[in-house]
Amino acid sequence: MNAFEMINLPAPSDIGRAIKRWRQSARGCFWSCVLTSPLMAFVKSKDAEKSLGNRGELAAERYLLKLGYIILFRGYEDKFGEIDLIAVDLDTIVFVEVKTRSTDDAGNPAEAVDAAKQMHLTKTGIGFLKWHRLTEYAARFDVVAILGEPSADSAEIKHYINAFEPTGEFQMFG
């Protein structure tokens, strides 16, 4: 049993077709309803109590959902490290590192994903693919950099697709 079967998702090719149809027909209406619902006000108020990093992860999750990604895990951890978000984009498994900074005094948030962090993410991503028997699927590493207060509309969100190649002694194909 793989992760798609565990959470009752269709095969990746079916997911891609379904997402394309969903984007065409219901995306705008759906998200306008969700983002203005009373539940989102509750979620936003809970966000305010959390750290800047947690608020950034939630903002990145909402951003990726708007783009049509399917979020599988948030805060996935194993013995090698932690991955902020694991998502599916059409037929590709996406490991997302979220970096949030309130100001750019320390530079671009994405620059914090250095070689050591990339190696930890690679090890953790490969472990995830092996554990869930998903090695036959394409995978990539994205970085979402958030500058400013994540819960504010003025926050600058930059999404770096395929931000880096897997590093270290490991191999990923896809």
The three-state DSSP-derived secondary structure of the chain is CCHHHHCCCCCHHHHHHHHHHHHHHCHHHHHHHHHCCHHHHHHHHHHCCCCHHHHHHHHHHHHHHHCCCEEEEEEEEECCEEEEEEEEECCEEEEEEEEEECCCCCCCHHHHCCHHHHHHHHHHHHHHHHHCCCCCCEEEEEEEEEECCCCCCCCEEEEEEEEECCCCCCCCCC
Q: Is residue 125 situated within a structural domain?
A: yes
Kindly state the tokens that stand for 58. Answer: 């939630």
Q: What are the Cα distances from residue 40, in Å, to 22, 45, 61?
A: 21, 8, 13
Q: Is residue 71 situated within a structural domain?
A: yes
For residue 81, pLDDT over 80 is answered with: yes
pTM: predicted TM-score of the whole model, two decimal places = 0.68
Q: Is residue 169 situated within a structural domain?
A: no
Q: How many domains does the chain fold into?
A: 1
Q: What is the pLDDT of residues 103-157, one digit of tens each?
A: 777 777 788 888 888 999 999 999 999 998 988 999 999 999 998 887 777 788 9
86: confidence class by pLDDT, cuts 50, 70, 90? very high
Q: Is residue 140 situated within a structural domain?
A: yes
Q: Is residue 15 situated within a structural domain?
A: yes
Q: Is residue 171 situated within a structural domain?
A: no
Q: What is the pLDDT of residue 1?
A: 55
Q: Is residue 173 situated within a structural domain?
A: no
Q: Is residue 33 situated within a structural domain?
A: yes
Q: Among 32-36, 65-69, 91-95, 159-163, whose mean pLDDT is lowest? A: 32-36
Q: What is the pLDDT of residue 111?
A: 80
Q: What is the pLDDT of residue 80?
A: 84
Q: Where in the sequence is the domain holding 26, given as residue range(s)?
A: 3-164
Q: What is the pLDDT of residue 31?
A: 44
Q: What is the pLDDT of residues 9-61, one digit of tens each?
A: 556 666 666 665 555 444 444 444 544 455 555 554 454 457 877 888 999 99
- Burial of residue 72 (number of CB atoms within 10 Å: 0-12, 13-18, 19+): buried
For residue 173, pLDDT over 50 is answered with: no
The CA distance from 165 to 174, in Å, is 11
Domain containing 59 — which CATH number?
Answer: 3.40.1350.10
